[in-house]
Amino acid sequence: MTAEVLTRGTVVIDVEACKGCDLCIDACPPRVLVMTEHLVNTRGYRYPLLLAGCTGCRACAQICPDFVFQVYKYETPLSLALPEPAETGQPTA
């Protein structure tokens, strides 16, 4: 059985403008932003990745000193299938 999560919004991240400060990670209420561990942008900084479950709350955009986030809220929430943990590279509990 595939797990699903309700997603009310999404963000577009300007990866190249990010300096990897981590402020967005802690500011995200649904905890759907995770910082890359081994991937870096062309300037050598880690950057956030979006997981399913964004609420479109704009907390990431409001706290980001480099304005790397464009936030979009869906009129109708979407139900998205969650990938298996091995697919995201995230550790299992």
| Rounded Cα–Cα distance for residues 46 and 81 (Å) | 26
> Residue 70: which of 52, 91, 50, 85 has the closest Cα?
50
Domain count, the chain: 1
Residue 37: per-residue pLDDT: 94
User: Which CATH number covers residue 65?
Assistant: 3.30.70.3270
Q: Is residue 4 part of a domain?
A: no
The parts of the chain modelled with pLDDT lower than 70 are 1, 84-93
User: The domain containing residue 41 runs over which residues?
Assistant: 13-75
Residue 90: per-residue pLDDT: 53
